Each structure stands twice: as structure tokens, then as C-alpha cells.
């Protein structure tokens, strides 16, 4: 078995860089190493399958969490274990189930605390 050269990456890595859900990509993408040049081409001029995935999903968990305004752990606590389509995400945002409301509030509190700590550290650095 030949080893891919240093200038190529596994399909999972390329999918992460493209912000797409690997199992939803075409078989040819999933089965072959992707070179940096191929990745750059996909980013610069996305083929139709990539445009469709980015628009309609299914989206990977990190994007689902960002679109819902919660953490990835919050998704798990809410029972969302799989990738979601844009339609499913929009339905959750419309319905606003109790878990989503609670997780959004919790996530905003965490972000607020992180901003407060960052400002406090910056203030300490200025005082030195």
C-alpha cells in the first residue's frame, strides 16, 4: 500500500477544512487523498455537490452548533447526535424546544464569562 505524500491529506481532514459532513460527500471524495492544490481548487471554485452541501447540508456538528447558538456538548445534551440539514436546523430555530432555549442561555453565559476573563487578563497585563 502506497503512502500518500506529505502534500496530500485524508478526506476527513479535507472535509473539515471545507466545513462539510464527510459521509454526505461523493464516494470519489471519501475514498481518495486530497492534495493541497485540489483543496484550494475546491475552495476557489466549488463544484455543485459542494455548493449544495454547504447550502442544504447535512452539516457537521460544529456548524450545527454555531447555527443554533449552542456548544457541541449542548447539542449532545439536547439529544442531537447526528448531522442536521439546513431545514432541520431552521425547524429547531422556529420551534425553540426547551432544551435549545436553555442551552443557548447557558452558552451565552459561558461566552460572557470568557469575555470578562479575557478583559481582566488584558487589564492585568496593562498594569504590569
Tens-digit pLDDT profile for residues 75-114? 999 888 889 999 999 999 999 999 999 999 999 999 999 9
Summary mean pLDDT of the chain = 89
pLDDT bracket for residue 46 (50, 70, 90)? very high
Q: What is the pLDDT of residue 89?
A: 94
pLDDT at residue 44 tops 90: yes
Q: What is the pLDDT of residue 112?
A: 92
pLDDT bracket for residue 1 (50, 70, 90)? very low
CB 42 within 8 A of CB 13: no
Q: Average pLDDT, stretch 16-45?
A: 92
Task: Provide the percentage of residues in the chain whose pLDDT is more than 90.
Answer: 77
Spatial separation of the C-alpha atoms in residues 64 and 78, rounded to whole Å = 12
Q: What is the pLDDT of residues 19-33, one digit of tens each?
A: 999 999 999 999 989
pLDDT at residue 128 tops 80: no
CB 86 within 8 A of CB 63: no
Residue 40, classed as helix, strand or coil, is helix
Going by the DSSP 8-state scheme, the letter that residue 34 receives in this structure is E
Please report, to the nearest 10 degrees, the dihedral formed by the alpha carbons of residues 88, 91, 65, 14 taken in order: 30
Going by the DSSP 8-state scheme, the letter that residue 69 receives in this structure is T
Q: Average pLDDT, stretch 47-64?
A: 92
Sign of the Cα torsion 39, 43, 44, 50 reads: positive
Dig out the grid coordinates for 120 from the structure: 481582566
Amino acid at each position: 500500500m502506497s503512502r500518500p505524500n506529505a502534500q496530500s491529506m485524508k478526506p476527513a481532514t479535507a472535509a473539515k477544512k471545507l466545513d462539510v459532513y464527510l459521509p454526505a460527500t461523493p464516494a470519489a471524495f471519501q475514498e481518495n487523498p486530497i492534495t493541497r492544490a485540489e483543496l484550494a481548487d475546491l475552495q476557489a471554485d466549488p463544484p455543485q455537490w459542494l455548493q449544495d452541501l454547504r447550502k442544504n447540508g447535512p452539516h457537521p456538528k460544529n456548524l450545527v452548533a454555531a447555527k443554533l447558538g449552542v456548544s457541541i456538548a449542548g447539542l449532545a445534551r439536547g439529544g442531537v447526535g447526528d448531522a442536521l440539514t439546513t431545514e432541520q436546523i431552521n425547524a429547531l430555530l422556529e420551534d425553540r424546544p426547551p432544551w435549545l432555549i436553555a442551552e443557548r442561555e447557558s452558552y451565552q453565559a459561558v461566552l460572557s464569562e470568557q469575555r470578562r476573563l479575557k478583559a481582566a487578563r488584558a487589564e492585568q497585563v496593562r498594569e504590569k
